Amino acid sequence: MRGLILSDDQTTDDMEDGPPATAQLPLDAWHRARGARMVPFAGYEMPIQYTGEGGGIVAEHEWTRTSAGLFDVSHMGQVLLSGEGLDEAVEAILPIDLSTLKLGRQRYSLLLDENGGVLDDLMVSRWPGNLYLVVNGATKWDDIGHLREHLPDAITLHHMDEHALLALQGPKAVDALARHATGEYALSDLTFMRFGRFEIAGHVVTIARAGYTGEDGFEISIPAEAAEEIATLLCAEPEVRPIGLGARDSLRLEAGLPLYGHDLSPEISPIEAGLIFGINKRRRSEGGFLGAERVQSEIAKGPAKTRIGLKLDGRMPAREGAKVFAGTEEIGVVTSGGFSPTLGAPIAMAYVDPAHAGEGQTIEIEVRSKRLSATVSPMPFVPHNYYRGS
């Protein structure tokens, strides 16, 4: 049989400006010591899953949905922007409204090219005196190049490559993390999309209540030299197990969250992707960001294609690249597909002609010259469980 090596083709992105292929992240040895199966991803060796008790994509997925999983996402790019006229300079690039982004808040945004195609999706946080960005691993070198090219000289860009990034995700993440995170206020005071400065084991860390699984959880930016100590500390908590990229992908698919390089690309606009919330209200009418023309036109006239969720009949999954049909007419293509452990059924995301995107419509997906029946379904497939305050 072939296809035994579980790797990801996202690493084929242009990495010319980056480090050599398959560099090591701060927790490389730590993962291996815990039985991780390492694969090349975004230019790094990363854990796809763990072996032994509690290991395996389905077990790791279910553990995260019911308890708490620790994900090493240190491959992602952490970037700090500062300088005179920062907000104005960033608004010329991103479709974000920084006048409403208060200190301690984080917001989802998009890096667009001149044609309105998505170069990356990212998080923007307002730290005291600067903006902190988290961008995707496979695109970070291109993103940094793009930002440097378009930001004026007065703006300083610092790539925080001396920092690791951990995500602790799941309904019990708050219990486990609260035992270690101390600060001016309690960890439980953070609500979804807020962040604060805390200490863990004497290290200064930044914790945001956010993630990529649909569950309550946290993203923790820590000094790289403290990564092993903090990861070990968190995994010693009874609620916490390390989780690999395989479960990260199945969790985000269930949560209806697009994956860059698959569901998002320079050929896709944010309106087609259903990410209009990433174009803040004032910017929709005012424009003035890269790609605004296409975005505004699609808001007014509607996009040529749209991202939908699909629930498939039967058990056979449809994968990225599978063609979508309405009768004999080809109407689109699957961009992410897999098996949902929570639903016990195959699910997918696809881009289709908006005429066939209505919830409940039945379409067909071609897999190995067979037609699989599927129903257009609302996303998320599994309800989000974010903490927005009591």
Q: By rule CB under 8 A, what count of residues binds another protein?
A: 25
Q: How far apart are CA 131 and CA 147, in angstroms?
A: 13
Query: Residue 68's beta-bridge partner residues?
Result: 240
Question: By C-beta, is 170 or 341 nearer to another protein?
Answer: 341
Q: Segment contacting another protein (CB under 8 A): 56-64, 65-73, 97-105, 145-153?
A: 56-64
CA-closest candidate to residue 70, choices 260, 242, 324, 233: 242
Taking CA atoms, 60 is separated from 57, 227, 250, 362, in Å, by 5, 21, 10, 32
Amino acid in position 38:
M
Q: Segment contacting another protein (CB under 8 A): 137-145, 177-185, 243-251, 353-361?
A: 243-251
Query: Considering the complex, what minimum distance in angstroms separates the CB of residue 295 from another protein?
Result: 33
Query: SS3 of 151, please?
Result: coil
Question: By C-beta, is 48 or 279 nearer to another protein?
Answer: 48
Question: By C-beta, is 3 or 202 nearer to another protein?
Answer: 3
Site residues for another protein, 181-210, by CB under 8 A, read none
Does residue 4 belong to the site contacting another protein (CB under 8 A)?
yes
Question: By C-beta, is 58 or 193 nearer to another protein?
Answer: 58
Question: By C-beta, is 2 or 102 nearer to another protein?
Answer: 2
Q: Segment contacting another protein (CB under 8 A): 1-9, 21-29, 86-94, 271-279?
A: 1-9
159 with 152: CB under 8 angstroms? no
Q: Segment contacting another protein (CB under 8 A): 14-22, 57-65, 75-83, 284-292?
A: 57-65
Determine which residue in the list 95, 217, 246, 256 makes contact with another protein, applying CB under 8 A: 246
Query: Considering the complex, what minimum distance in angstroms separates the CB of residue 171 from another protein?
Result: 21
Question: By C-beta, is 206 or 250 nearer to another protein?
Answer: 250
Site residues for another protein, 314-353, by CB under 8 A, read 315-317, 319, 338-339, 341, 346
Contacts of 221 (CB under 8 A, 6+ apart): 78, 160, 163, 164, 165, 205, 206, 207, 208
Q: Segment contacting another protein (CB under 8 A): 128-136, 223-231, 296-304, 313-321?
A: 313-321
Q: How far apart are CA 120 and CA 138, in angstroms?
A: 10
Does residue 6 belong to the site contacting another protein (CB under 8 A)?
yes
Query: SS3 of 140, please?
Result: helix
Beta strand pairing call for 106-112 and 68-72? unpaired
Amino acid in position 110:
L
Structure tokens at 11: 């690493």
Question: By C-beta, is 56 or 104 nearer to another protein?
Answer: 56
Determine which residue in the list 61, 75, 180, 283 makes contact with another protein, applying CB under 8 A: 61
Site residues for another protein, 25-54, by CB under 8 A, read 48-49
Does residue 217 belong to the site contacting another protein (CB under 8 A)?
no
Q: At what angle do helices 245-254 and 57-66 cross, to 10 degrees?
A: 60
Q: How far apart are CA 87 and CA 101, in angstroms?
A: 10
Structure tokens at 231: 């990861």
CA-closest candidate to residue 75, choices 108, 31, 119: 31
75 with 13: CB under 8 angstroms? no
Does residue 5 belong to the site contacting another protein (CB under 8 A)?
yes
Query: Residue 367's beta-bridge partner residues?
Result: 370
Does residue 103 belong to the site contacting another protein (CB under 8 A)?
no
Determine which residue in the list 106, 139, 250, 296 makes contact with another protein, applying CB under 8 A: 250
Q: Using CB under 8 A, list all residues that contact another protein.
A: 1-6, 48-49, 56-59, 61, 246, 249-250, 315-317, 319, 338-339, 341, 346, 368
